[in-house]
Amino acid sequence: MTTAQRPSSLWRHRDFMHLWGGQAVSEVGSQVTFIALPLLAVITLHATTFEAALLEAAGSAAFLLIALQAGSLVDRWRKKRIMVWSDLLRGVLLASVPVAHLAGILTLAQLYVVALLISVLTVFFDVAYQAYLPMLVADDQLVDGNAKIGGSQSFAQVAGPSVGGALVGAVGAAYAVAVDVVSFAVSAVLTGRVRDPEPAPEPRPAGARLRTEIRAGLAFVFGHRVLRKVLGCTATHNFFANMTGALDVVFLVRVLGASGRTVGFVFALGALGGLAGAALARRLATRVGTARIVWVSVLVEAPFLFARPFAFSGWGVLLVSLTGAGMAAASVVYNVAQVSYRQAVTPRHLLGRMTASARFVVWGVSPLGAVAGGALGTLLGIRTTLFIAAVGGSLSVLWVLASPLARVRDVADLPPELGGTAAVAAS
Protein backbone atom coordinates (compact mmCIF):
# COMPACT_ATOMS: atom_id res chain seq x y z
CA MET A 1 0.00 0.00 0.00
CA THR A 2 1.47 3.36 -0.99
CA THR A 3 1.56 6.32 1.40
CA ALA A 4 -1.20 8.00 -0.59
CA GLN A 5 -3.45 4.97 -0.21
CA ARG A 6 -2.96 4.63 3.54
CA PRO A 7 -5.88 5.82 5.70
CA SER A 8 -5.27 9.16 7.38
CA SER A 9 -6.33 7.71 10.74
CA LEU A 10 -4.80 4.52 12.13
CA TRP A 11 -8.22 3.63 13.55
CA ARG A 12 -9.31 3.05 9.93
CA HIS A 13 -6.09 1.30 8.96
CA ARG A 14 -7.23 -2.35 8.77
CA ASP A 15 -3.77 -3.91 8.67
CA PHE A 16 -2.40 -1.79 11.51
CA MET A 17 -5.45 -2.67 13.62
CA HIS A 18 -4.85 -6.40 13.03
CA LEU A 19 -1.17 -6.07 13.88
CA TRP A 20 -1.88 -3.92 16.92
CA GLY A 21 -4.77 -6.13 18.07
CA GLY A 22 -2.67 -9.27 17.94
CA GLN A 23 0.13 -7.64 19.88
CA ALA A 24 -2.31 -6.22 22.45
CA VAL A 25 -3.80 -9.66 23.18
CA SER A 26 -0.35 -11.20 23.38
CA GLU A 27 0.84 -8.50 25.78
CA VAL A 28 -2.02 -9.24 28.20
CA GLY A 29 -1.11 -12.93 28.17
CA SER A 30 2.57 -12.19 28.64
CA GLN A 31 1.80 -10.03 31.67
CA VAL A 32 -0.03 -12.96 33.22
CA THR A 33 3.16 -14.99 32.72
CA PHE A 34 5.21 -12.08 34.09
CA ILE A 35 3.40 -12.57 37.40
CA ALA A 36 2.87 -16.34 37.30
CA LEU A 37 6.39 -17.58 36.51
CA PRO A 38 8.26 -15.81 39.35
CA LEU A 39 5.44 -16.69 41.78
CA LEU A 40 5.71 -20.29 40.63
CA ALA A 41 9.46 -20.18 41.28
CA VAL A 42 9.28 -18.39 44.64
CA ILE A 43 6.16 -19.96 46.20
CA THR A 44 5.86 -23.43 44.61
CA LEU A 45 9.49 -24.29 43.84
CA HIS A 46 10.94 -22.31 46.80
CA ALA A 47 13.53 -20.38 44.76
CA THR A 48 16.04 -18.26 46.65
CA THR A 49 16.47 -14.53 45.96
CA PHE A 50 19.35 -15.25 43.59
CA GLU A 51 17.54 -18.13 41.84
CA ALA A 52 14.53 -15.87 41.25
CA ALA A 53 16.86 -13.23 39.81
CA LEU A 54 18.35 -15.84 37.46
CA LEU A 55 14.85 -16.56 36.11
CA GLU A 56 14.46 -12.85 35.38
CA ALA A 57 17.86 -12.89 33.67
CA ALA A 58 16.98 -15.92 31.54
CA GLY A 59 13.89 -14.08 30.28
CA SER A 60 16.02 -11.37 28.67
CA ALA A 61 19.33 -13.14 28.04
CA ALA A 62 18.74 -13.54 24.30
CA PHE A 63 18.95 -9.78 23.78
CA LEU A 64 22.58 -10.03 24.89
CA LEU A 65 23.35 -13.30 23.11
CA ILE A 66 21.72 -13.11 19.67
CA ALA A 67 20.13 -9.69 19.10
CA LEU A 68 22.78 -8.59 16.60
CA GLN A 69 22.50 -11.76 14.53
CA ALA A 70 18.70 -11.51 14.67
CA GLY A 71 18.77 -8.01 13.18
CA SER A 72 20.70 -9.09 10.10
CA LEU A 73 18.50 -12.15 9.62
CA VAL A 74 15.31 -10.09 9.99
CA ASP A 75 16.53 -7.74 7.27
CA ARG A 76 16.91 -10.79 5.02
CA TRP A 77 13.54 -12.41 5.76
CA ARG A 78 9.83 -11.54 5.59
CA LYS A 79 8.92 -9.77 8.82
CA LYS A 80 5.32 -10.97 9.07
CA ARG A 81 6.34 -14.61 8.72
CA ILE A 82 8.90 -14.19 11.52
CA MET A 83 6.25 -12.73 13.84
CA VAL A 84 3.70 -15.48 13.18
CA TRP A 85 6.16 -18.32 13.76
CA SER A 86 7.60 -16.64 16.85
CA ASP A 87 4.11 -16.44 18.37
CA LEU A 88 3.31 -20.08 17.62
CA LEU A 89 6.58 -21.44 18.98
CA ARG A 90 6.40 -19.32 22.15
CA GLY A 91 2.95 -20.76 22.81
CA VAL A 92 4.24 -24.32 22.46
CA LEU A 93 7.15 -23.68 24.83
CA LEU A 94 4.95 -22.10 27.46
CA ALA A 95 2.42 -24.94 27.26
CA SER A 96 5.12 -27.29 28.56
CA VAL A 97 4.94 -25.63 32.00
CA PRO A 98 1.39 -26.69 33.03
CA VAL A 99 1.94 -30.07 31.36
CA ALA A 100 5.11 -30.72 33.41
CA HIS A 101 3.43 -29.50 36.59
CA LEU A 102 0.48 -31.83 36.00
CA ALA A 103 2.92 -34.70 35.54
CA GLY A 104 4.75 -33.75 38.75
CA ILE A 105 8.11 -33.18 37.02
CA LEU A 106 8.33 -29.39 36.88
CA THR A 107 11.69 -27.98 38.02
CA LEU A 108 13.45 -24.63 38.17
CA ALA A 109 15.75 -25.88 35.42
CA GLN A 110 12.77 -26.24 33.07
CA LEU A 111 11.59 -22.72 33.91
CA TYR A 112 15.06 -21.39 33.07
CA VAL A 113 15.11 -23.21 29.71
CA VAL A 114 11.58 -22.13 28.80
CA ALA A 115 12.30 -18.51 29.75
CA LEU A 116 15.55 -18.50 27.75
CA LEU A 117 14.04 -20.02 24.58
CA ILE A 118 11.04 -17.70 24.74
CA SER A 119 13.44 -14.76 25.03
CA VAL A 120 15.17 -15.93 21.82
CA LEU A 121 11.86 -15.93 19.94
CA THR A 122 10.89 -12.61 21.52
CA VAL A 123 14.06 -11.03 20.15
CA PHE A 124 13.11 -12.09 16.62
CA PHE A 125 9.50 -10.98 17.10
CA ASP A 126 10.38 -7.58 18.55
CA VAL A 127 13.02 -6.77 15.94
CA ALA A 128 10.66 -7.80 13.13
CA TYR A 129 7.77 -5.85 14.69
CA GLN A 130 9.68 -2.57 14.98
CA ALA A 131 11.13 -2.99 11.49
CA TYR A 132 7.69 -3.82 10.03
CA LEU A 133 5.73 -0.91 11.50
CA PRO A 134 7.43 1.83 9.40
CA MET A 135 6.64 -0.24 6.29
CA LEU A 136 2.98 -0.48 7.25
CA VAL A 137 2.22 3.12 8.26
CA ALA A 138 3.28 6.53 6.92
CA ASP A 139 6.21 8.37 8.49
CA ASP A 140 3.92 10.99 10.02
CA GLN A 141 1.90 8.18 11.68
CA LEU A 142 4.87 6.64 13.51
CA VAL A 143 4.44 8.60 16.76
CA ASP A 144 0.71 7.81 16.77
CA GLY A 145 1.36 4.14 16.03
CA ASN A 146 4.03 3.80 18.70
CA ALA A 147 1.81 5.64 21.20
CA LYS A 148 -1.05 3.21 20.50
CA ILE A 149 1.30 0.26 20.91
CA GLY A 150 2.63 1.78 24.12
CA GLY A 151 -0.94 2.27 25.33
CA SER A 152 -1.87 -1.37 24.71
CA GLN A 153 1.29 -2.48 26.48
CA SER A 154 0.36 -0.32 29.44
CA PHE A 155 -3.21 -1.65 29.41
CA ALA A 156 -1.76 -5.16 29.41
CA GLN A 157 0.33 -4.23 32.43
CA VAL A 158 -2.91 -3.26 34.19
CA ALA A 159 -5.11 -6.15 33.08
CA GLY A 160 -2.47 -8.90 32.93
CA PRO A 161 -1.17 -8.81 36.53
CA SER A 162 -4.67 -8.52 38.02
CA VAL A 163 -5.89 -11.45 35.91
CA GLY A 164 -2.68 -13.32 36.65
CA GLY A 165 -2.93 -12.74 40.39
CA ALA A 166 -6.55 -13.91 40.42
CA LEU A 167 -5.70 -17.00 38.36
CA VAL A 168 -2.73 -17.85 40.58
CA GLY A 169 -5.06 -17.71 43.57
CA ALA A 170 -7.77 -19.76 41.82
CA VAL A 171 -5.90 -22.45 39.85
CA GLY A 172 -2.23 -22.03 40.76
CA ALA A 173 0.66 -20.32 39.02
CA ALA A 174 1.50 -23.27 36.75
CA TYR A 175 -1.94 -23.33 35.12
CA ALA A 176 -2.30 -19.54 34.97
CA VAL A 177 0.27 -19.40 32.15
CA ALA A 178 -2.18 -21.24 29.89
CA VAL A 179 -3.75 -17.81 29.27
CA ASP A 180 -0.53 -16.75 27.58
CA VAL A 181 -0.54 -19.87 25.40
CA VAL A 182 -3.95 -18.84 24.04
CA SER A 183 -2.85 -15.22 23.61
CA PHE A 184 0.09 -16.24 21.42
CA ALA A 185 -2.26 -18.24 19.20
CA VAL A 186 -4.63 -15.26 18.83
CA SER A 187 -1.69 -12.97 18.02
CA ALA A 188 -0.46 -15.36 15.32
CA VAL A 189 -3.90 -15.47 13.68
CA LEU A 190 -4.41 -11.69 13.70
CA THR A 191 -0.89 -10.94 12.46
CA GLY A 192 -1.39 -13.48 9.68
CA ARG A 193 -4.46 -11.54 8.53
CA VAL A 194 -2.41 -8.44 7.62
CA ARG A 195 -2.90 -8.13 3.85
CA ASP A 196 -0.63 -5.20 2.92
CA PRO A 197 2.07 -6.79 0.70
CA GLU A 198 5.37 -6.51 2.49
CA PRO A 199 8.21 -5.13 0.34
CA ALA A 200 10.64 -7.88 -0.61
CA PRO A 201 13.87 -7.75 1.41
CA GLU A 202 16.61 -6.00 -0.52
CA PRO A 203 18.87 -8.56 -2.22
CA ARG A 204 22.21 -8.99 -0.52
CA PRO A 205 25.39 -8.43 -2.53
CA ALA A 206 27.11 -11.61 -3.64
CA GLY A 207 29.32 -12.93 -0.87
CA ALA A 208 27.75 -10.72 1.79
CA ARG A 209 28.50 -12.05 5.25
CA LEU A 210 26.43 -11.90 8.41
CA ARG A 211 29.37 -10.36 10.27
CA THR A 212 29.63 -7.53 7.74
CA GLU A 213 25.91 -6.78 7.98
CA ILE A 214 26.03 -6.78 11.78
CA ARG A 215 28.95 -4.36 11.63
CA ALA A 216 26.94 -2.05 9.36
CA GLY A 217 24.07 -1.88 11.88
CA LEU A 218 26.43 -1.20 14.79
CA ALA A 219 28.33 1.41 12.77
CA PHE A 220 25.11 3.28 12.01
CA VAL A 221 23.95 3.29 15.63
CA PHE A 222 27.28 4.18 17.25
CA GLY A 223 28.21 6.59 14.48
CA HIS A 224 25.08 8.67 15.01
CA ARG A 225 25.67 11.49 17.51
CA VAL A 226 22.14 11.39 18.92
CA LEU A 227 21.34 7.68 18.74
CA ARG A 228 24.39 6.58 20.69
CA LYS A 229 23.57 9.00 23.53
CA VAL A 230 19.92 7.93 23.63
CA LEU A 231 20.94 4.27 23.70
CA GLY A 232 23.45 4.98 26.47
CA CYS A 233 20.68 6.55 28.54
CA THR A 234 18.26 3.70 27.86
CA ALA A 235 20.83 0.98 28.56
CA THR A 236 21.92 2.55 31.84
CA HIS A 237 18.31 2.96 32.93
CA ASN A 238 17.42 -0.62 31.93
CA PHE A 239 20.38 -2.09 33.81
CA PHE A 240 19.22 -0.57 37.08
CA ALA A 241 15.53 -1.11 36.31
CA ASN A 242 16.23 -4.83 35.98
CA MET A 243 18.05 -4.81 39.29
CA THR A 244 14.74 -3.62 40.75
CA GLY A 245 12.59 -5.91 38.60
CA ALA A 246 14.53 -9.00 39.65
CA LEU A 247 13.70 -8.24 43.30
CA ASP A 248 10.11 -7.01 43.02
CA VAL A 249 8.30 -10.31 43.65
CA VAL A 250 10.72 -11.36 46.41
CA PHE A 251 10.38 -7.89 47.99
CA LEU A 252 6.60 -8.08 47.96
CA VAL A 253 6.24 -11.72 49.07
CA ARG A 254 9.07 -12.16 51.57
CA VAL A 255 9.72 -8.63 52.88
CA LEU A 256 6.23 -7.09 52.72
CA GLY A 257 4.26 -10.34 53.21
CA ALA A 258 2.01 -9.96 50.15
CA SER A 259 0.03 -12.87 48.71
CA GLY A 260 0.07 -13.86 45.05
CA ARG A 261 -3.29 -12.13 44.51
CA THR A 262 -1.99 -8.96 46.19
CA VAL A 263 1.16 -9.00 44.04
CA GLY A 264 -1.00 -9.02 40.91
CA PHE A 265 -3.16 -6.20 42.28
CA VAL A 266 -0.09 -4.09 43.17
CA PHE A 267 1.43 -4.45 39.70
CA ALA A 268 -1.90 -3.77 38.01
CA LEU A 269 -2.40 -0.51 39.92
CA GLY A 270 1.14 0.56 39.18
CA ALA A 271 0.67 -0.06 35.46
CA LEU A 272 -2.15 2.52 35.33
CA GLY A 273 0.60 5.12 35.04
CA GLY A 274 1.66 3.57 31.76
CA LEU A 275 -1.84 4.05 30.37
CA ALA A 276 -1.71 7.72 31.35
CA GLY A 277 1.72 8.06 29.78
CA ALA A 278 0.55 6.53 26.49
CA ALA A 279 -2.55 8.72 26.39
CA LEU A 280 -0.52 11.87 27.04
CA ALA A 281 2.67 11.06 25.10
CA ARG A 282 1.70 12.87 21.92
CA ARG A 283 0.26 15.89 23.75
CA LEU A 284 3.26 16.18 26.07
CA ALA A 285 5.68 15.96 23.14
CA THR A 286 3.84 18.88 21.52
CA ARG A 287 3.71 20.92 24.73
CA VAL A 288 7.23 20.21 26.04
CA GLY A 289 9.01 19.60 22.73
CA THR A 290 9.74 16.39 20.85
CA ALA A 291 13.45 16.61 21.74
CA ARG A 292 13.12 18.05 25.25
CA ILE A 293 10.57 15.42 26.34
CA VAL A 294 13.24 12.71 26.10
CA TRP A 295 15.34 13.99 29.01
CA VAL A 296 12.48 15.62 30.93
CA SER A 297 10.69 12.25 31.21
CA VAL A 298 13.80 10.66 32.75
CA LEU A 299 14.08 13.45 35.35
CA VAL A 300 10.39 13.12 36.27
CA GLU A 301 10.89 9.43 37.07
CA ALA A 302 13.70 9.95 39.62
CA PRO A 303 11.60 10.74 42.75
CA PHE A 304 9.52 7.61 42.24
CA LEU A 305 12.66 5.45 42.07
CA PHE A 306 13.86 6.73 45.45
CA ALA A 307 10.44 6.34 47.14
CA ARG A 308 10.00 2.64 46.26
CA PRO A 309 12.29 1.14 48.98
CA PHE A 310 10.22 2.86 51.69
CA ALA A 311 7.22 0.53 51.12
CA PHE A 312 6.09 -1.41 54.19
CA SER A 313 3.73 -4.25 55.11
CA GLY A 314 -0.05 -3.87 55.05
CA TRP A 315 -1.42 -0.89 53.19
CA GLY A 316 2.17 0.30 52.66
CA VAL A 317 2.45 -2.08 49.68
CA LEU A 318 0.44 0.57 47.82
CA LEU A 319 3.61 2.65 47.76
CA VAL A 320 4.97 0.05 45.32
CA SER A 321 1.89 0.72 43.16
CA LEU A 322 2.27 4.51 43.40
CA THR A 323 5.95 4.50 42.52
CA GLY A 324 5.31 1.94 39.79
CA ALA A 325 2.67 4.23 38.27
CA GLY A 326 5.06 7.18 38.13
CA MET A 327 7.86 5.08 36.69
CA ALA A 328 5.57 3.52 34.07
CA ALA A 329 4.16 6.87 32.94
CA ALA A 330 7.60 8.41 32.51
CA SER A 331 8.99 5.33 30.77
CA VAL A 332 6.17 5.14 28.21
CA VAL A 333 6.51 8.84 27.32
CA TYR A 334 10.28 8.39 26.97
CA ASN A 335 9.99 5.24 24.85
CA VAL A 336 7.38 6.66 22.47
CA ALA A 337 9.65 9.65 21.80
CA GLN A 338 12.95 7.83 21.39
CA VAL A 339 11.63 4.82 19.43
CA SER A 340 9.78 7.09 16.97
CA TYR A 341 12.98 9.10 16.49
CA ARG A 342 15.07 5.97 15.89
CA GLN A 343 12.63 4.60 13.32
CA ALA A 344 12.34 7.88 11.43
CA VAL A 345 16.07 8.61 11.06
CA THR A 346 17.04 5.09 9.97
CA PRO A 347 17.15 4.07 6.29
CA ARG A 348 14.55 1.39 5.56
CA HIS A 349 17.09 -1.26 4.57
CA LEU A 350 18.81 -0.86 7.95
CA LEU A 351 15.70 -0.92 10.16
CA GLY A 352 16.12 -4.51 11.30
CA ARG A 353 19.81 -4.12 12.03
CA MET A 354 19.32 -0.75 13.73
CA THR A 355 16.57 -2.19 15.93
CA ALA A 356 18.65 -5.26 16.75
CA SER A 357 21.75 -3.17 17.51
CA ALA A 358 19.66 -0.92 19.74
CA ARG A 359 18.03 -3.89 21.47
CA PHE A 360 21.45 -5.51 21.95
CA VAL A 361 22.62 -2.38 23.77
CA VAL A 362 19.50 -1.46 25.74
CA TRP A 363 18.14 -4.94 26.52
CA GLY A 364 21.43 -6.82 26.50
CA VAL A 365 22.18 -5.25 29.87
CA SER A 366 18.91 -6.60 31.32
CA PRO A 367 20.15 -10.06 32.37
CA LEU A 368 23.30 -8.45 33.77
CA GLY A 369 21.17 -6.06 35.82
CA ALA A 370 18.98 -8.91 37.05
CA VAL A 371 21.98 -10.99 38.14
CA ALA A 372 23.52 -7.93 39.83
CA GLY A 373 20.22 -7.31 41.63
CA GLY A 374 20.07 -10.89 42.86
CA ALA A 375 23.67 -10.86 44.04
CA LEU A 376 23.43 -7.47 45.78
CA GLY A 377 20.02 -8.33 47.22
CA THR A 378 21.53 -11.46 48.80
CA LEU A 379 24.66 -9.70 50.07
CA LEU A 380 23.39 -6.24 51.08
CA GLY A 381 19.64 -6.74 51.50
CA ILE A 382 16.76 -5.93 49.18
CA ARG A 383 16.02 -2.37 50.37
CA THR A 384 19.67 -1.30 50.08
CA THR A 385 19.83 -2.73 46.56
CA LEU A 386 16.68 -0.84 45.59
CA PHE A 387 18.36 2.43 46.72
CA ILE A 388 21.45 1.63 44.65
CA ALA A 389 19.23 1.00 41.63
CA ALA A 390 17.46 4.33 42.20
CA VAL A 391 20.76 6.24 42.14
CA GLY A 392 21.92 4.49 38.98
CA GLY A 393 18.60 4.89 37.18
CA SER A 394 18.44 8.60 37.95
CA LEU A 395 21.97 9.24 36.67
CA SER A 396 21.10 7.73 33.28
CA VAL A 397 19.76 11.15 32.21
CA LEU A 398 23.33 12.47 31.99
CA TRP A 399 23.75 10.69 28.65
CA VAL A 400 20.93 12.66 27.01
CA LEU A 401 21.88 15.95 28.70
CA ALA A 402 25.25 15.59 26.97
CA SER A 403 23.61 15.16 23.55
CA PRO A 404 22.28 17.66 20.96
CA LEU A 405 18.75 16.85 22.23
CA ALA A 406 19.43 18.95 25.32
CA ARG A 407 20.08 22.06 23.22
CA VAL A 408 16.89 22.14 21.12
CA ARG A 409 13.17 22.09 21.83
CA ASP A 410 12.05 19.85 18.96
CA VAL A 411 13.65 17.13 16.87
CA ALA A 412 12.89 19.27 13.79
CA ASP A 413 15.33 21.87 15.17
CA LEU A 414 18.26 19.47 14.90
CA PRO A 415 20.64 19.67 11.93
CA PRO A 416 19.41 17.61 8.95
CA GLU A 417 22.10 14.95 9.42
CA LEU A 418 20.75 14.30 12.93
CA GLY A 419 17.13 13.92 11.82
CA GLY A 420 15.98 17.53 11.80
CA THR A 421 14.07 16.97 8.59
CA ALA A 422 12.62 13.59 9.67
CA ALA A 423 8.87 13.28 10.18
CA VAL A 424 8.98 12.60 13.90
CA ALA A 425 7.34 15.74 15.19
CA ALA A 426 4.27 15.16 17.29
CA SER A 427 2.17 17.65 15.35
Structural domains in the chain, sorted by start: 12-196+209-418 (1.20.1250.20)
- In 3D space, the residue among 164, 130, 131 whose CA is nearest the CA of residue 149 turns out to be 130
Give the residue, 424 or 228, on which the prediction is more confident.
228
pTM for this prediction: 0.72
- Are the C-beta atoms of 317 and 265 separated by less than 8 Å? no
pLDDT grade, residue 208 (50/70/90)? Answer: low
Angle between helix axes 79-103 and 108-136 (nearest 10 degrees) is 160
Q: What value does the mean pLDDT take over residues 36-46?
A: 88
- In 3D space, the residue among 320, 322, 354 whose CA is nearest the CA of residue 339 turns out to be 354
Q: What value does the mean pLDDT take over residues 97-101?
A: 94
How far apart CA 222 and CA 341 sit, in angstroms, is 15
The answer on pLDDT for 140 being more than 80 is: no
C-alpha distances in Å from residue 380, one per residue of 81, 178, 376: 46, 36, 5
- In 3D space, the residue among 244, 95, 245 whose CA is nearest the CA of residue 178 turns out to be 95
pLDDT grade, residue 7 (50/70/90)? Answer: low
Q: Which of 24-38, 353-367, 371-385 has the highest mean pLDDT?
A: 371-385
The answer on pLDDT for 415 being more than 50 is: yes
Q: Residue 425's pLDDT is what?
A: 37
Give the residue, 396 or 420, on which the prediction is more confident.
396
| Residue 424 phi, psi dihedral angles, 5° rounding | -120, 5
Convert the pLDDT of each residue in 328-353 to its tens digit.
Answer: 889 888 988 888 778 777 777 777 77
Give the residue, 193 or 168, on which the prediction is more confident.
193
Question: What is the percent of the chain where pLDDT is above 90?
Answer: 31
Q: Residue 158's pLDDT is what?
A: 64
- Are the C-beta atoms of 325 and 270 separated by less than 8 Å? yes
Interior angle at CA 339, CA 362 and CA 57, nearest 5: 25
